[in-house]
Amino acid sequence: MLHELLLALSGHPGDVFVPDPPPPAPLKTYRVATDFPFLHPAERTALDRLVHLGALYSVLRDFVDKNRKRVWTATLPSQQQIEGTAPVSPTGFYFFAFCAAVDDVLDEYRQLVVEAEVKVLSSLDLDTDGGRTPISWLEHVFGRYKVILSHLRQLVETIEANLGYHGAALLSLLNARTKTGIPEVRGVVLRLFQSCMTVFYKQLITWMLYGKLHDPHGEFFVRNAGVDSRHKNSVDDDFDLHLQAEHTRWQSQFVLDAALVPDFVPPDVADTILFIGKAVVIIGESKRPEAALVKSLVSEHLTEVSALSKSQEFRSLAFENTISKIKRDVAAILWDVVVMDEHLINHLKAFKACYLLGNGDLWMTFIEECAQLKMKAGARLSLVTAHELNSMFKKLVRKAASEEDMGLYMEHFRFRMPKSTSGQDSTLSRNYTEDLLGVPFTLDYIVKWPLDLVFTLSDITDYNTILAFLLLLKGTHMRLQRVCSSISQSFRAVSSGNSKRNVLDEDTAEVPREIWQVRGVMMFFLDCLWSYIQMDILESNYHILMEVVKQKERNEDETVADINAASSHSRPDFEDIRKAHTAHLQAVLQGCFLDPVMNRLIGGTVREALTLCEQFCGLVDRILSAGSWNESGSDGVLVQVRALREDFEKCTSFLFRTFSSVQTTSPQAHCLSQLLLRMDYNRWFSMSGNDSVRERGIR
């Protein structure tokens, strides 16, 4: 009977110990056969409890054998898998490591069964009393495995029941199971965890130090999206090919799968791991001498990462410190490749000149030429085309830009007419640019390697939103200035003629005065808004961005030894550029009231104020085209002018109150205070209260 018991403990039932329930039902336990005689109920219960270990062992052994075979044959799909009828089962390197660790635990159990058999067969062994082995001794020998095998079976059933525990996500489950107060279970789960972590660290080394991503089973949280950036970001005649990409290579070639990130790896650390690998890939493509420094990173940091894998427990502080060291060194090398070799500063200057109207002469002429294009297109009953816009832009660039800037503008900037109203084209920029040309347009920037690490298509979309707003604001400002000159000339002509004939009647004379007052109110508001955007938003934020980019910029003649010896805290890294550029763009959007919060709060009012200015200019143009103040219908004109003034003053009063209320809570609080100082330098808005500004007159 002892031999039958040892066989059952080894997972081989017989006549005495039989499976329960009988095959082919799934095995739950082994029990003493019901027809086995001469057993006391207490003995039967003790044997059933002991032999249950054999059933647990059998289930775990079948699990290991089945899944090991599946892992090795995963590259040879069966006919069912080809047809899609085979059940989905976990597989991969992590799962294989888990099975191997479970098998190691079962090996120790099997070895214990063998040692117990040796003692049972020995007539001189004191523990077995010369072959008369008591059940209590077997209970003592195998007692620890009652807890271990039971927990292992629960763990296996959990994994098989949830296919989400795949790849690196399996580490989260194992790490959670280590948080137990049972020492035997904790020790075994730590062994399983360490076995899977070995695979994790090998993938980290391959990705972070070599820039390779070998993940045939899709287990690592970094995955290749399969985008060939060298085709996407090259200058191509088919410009739409570049624009159809939702992201540039830095965002799309390698991406983070958040579902596979282990729970014990913080999101920012996972992003850092993604950044390091992408940076190593980018540096490896460069022909600069700094690319050779990546090889030194392997010898320098390989030992540190390998040492982490030797620890049974995951030490988060040591892990994060190691990742930070690697990231700092890689980012510093990437700084040389992107900033020094690709002249990033020149591209940022081009962005300021084109998207932020830094080249004022160019864009003032552009606005005037757009009016001519719109007029010509209307005469032929058609819309302005992208070809016309690009031809006009190139002509203006040749006149207004320097030779150095001309090549940069010609190569990288191109206008495009959106083909649909869906997607990212249905933004604020559509509404603003339609007023300029009657059709929406965007100014695209062709990003070439490795500048796609800094600029994304989302950034270009935001820049176009800013450009469209600035063009509308500047165009309205210019038109209002021209109205001033036209009014003066017309009024002088009328006054000169009337001095020889009859003087203007009182109602007719009131029209120019009212127009001058409205024009003064509108011009004051636009002057304040334009100077605020130019000086307090665009220039100040661009200066902050340039300070980061130029900080501790090294000479290209610096030797490799100097680079290695340089302190990591005394030199900026590539991440500084990306963060500074993102912060710069966000600050400009907020300062121009184009971010979602400010646009929802006051964007419509700002747009309404600009529309009222345009309506006022149109009204004045119609009056002037009539040829005489008397012939223009003074009564109707006064009503329209006063209505425009009343609506405009409501807008400006609302804006002032809103700016004052959000001044302390807005991220652009300092800038808003400058705008309020310009608008309310003489306390006019503050003292007006609920009274109409119009009734107080212009000071």
**Candidate from 131-135, 146-150, 277-281 with smallest mean pLDDT:** 131-135
Residue range 322-333: mean pLDDT, rounded? 86
Instruction: Give the pLDDT of residue 360.
Output: 86
- In sequence order, the β-bridge partners of residue 31 are 18
Q: In the numeric block, which tokens belong to residue 403? A: 């030779």
- In sequence order, the β-bridge partners of residue 414 are 444
The residue that leads in pLDDT, 499 or 678, is 678
Q: What is the 3-state secondary structure (H, E, C) of 585-614?
A: HHHHHHHCCCCHHHHHHHHHHHHHHHHHHH
Residue range 178-206: mean pLDDT, rounded? 92
Instruction: Give the pLDDT of residue 466.
Output: 92
CA gap 437, 433 in Å, rounded: 6
pLDDT, tens digit, for every residue of 11-57? 888 878 888 877 777 778 887 777 777 777 888 888 888 888 989 99
pLDDT, tens digit, for every residue of 351-365? 999 899 988 888 899
Residue range 152-174: mean pLDDT, rounded? 87
Is residue 471 within 8 Å of residue 428, measured between CB atoms?
A: no
The residue that leads in pLDDT, 343 or 260, is 260
CA 450 vs CA 7, 393, 558, 571, 573: distances in Å: 66, 26, 22, 20, 15
The residue that leads in pLDDT, 148 or 682, is 148
Q: Compute and round to an integer the Cα radius of gyration of the chain.
A: 39
CA 483 vs CA 297, 511, 616, 638: distances in Å: 66, 14, 9, 17
284: closest CA among 156, 489, 449, 413? 449
The per-residue pLDDT of the chain, averaged, comes to 78
Residue 337 has pLDDT above 50, yes or no: yes
Q: In the numeric block, which tokens belong to residue 663? A: 């001044």
Residue 237 — pLDDT band, cuts 50, 70, 90? very low
Is residue 302 within 8 Å of residue 205, measured between CB atoms?
A: yes
Instruction: Give the pLDDT of residue 674.
Output: 76
Quick one: residue 381, left, alpha or beta (phi over 0 = left, psi -120 to 50 = alpha)? Answer: left
Instruction: Give the pLDDT of residue 426.
Output: 45
CA gap 409, 400 in Å, rounded: 11
Residue 262 has pLDDT above 60, yes or no: yes
- Proportion of the chain above pLDDT 90, given as a percent: 19
The count of other CB atoms within 10 Å of the CB of residue 269 is 17
Is residue 434 within 8 Å of residue 425, measured between CB atoms?
A: no
Residue 471 has pLDDT above 80, yes or no: yes
Instruction: Give the pLDDT of residue 507.
Output: 53
CA gap 219, 77 in Å, rounded: 19
Cα–chain center distance at 562: 34
Residue 410 has pLDDT above 60, yes or no: yes
Instruction: Give the pLDDT of residue 235.
Output: 37
361: closest CA among 389, 392, 399? 399
Q: In the numeric block, which tokens belong to residue 439? A: 């059709």
pLDDT, tens digit, for every residue of 525-556? 999 999 999 998 999 999 999 888 876 454 43
Residue 165 has pLDDT above 90, yes or no: no
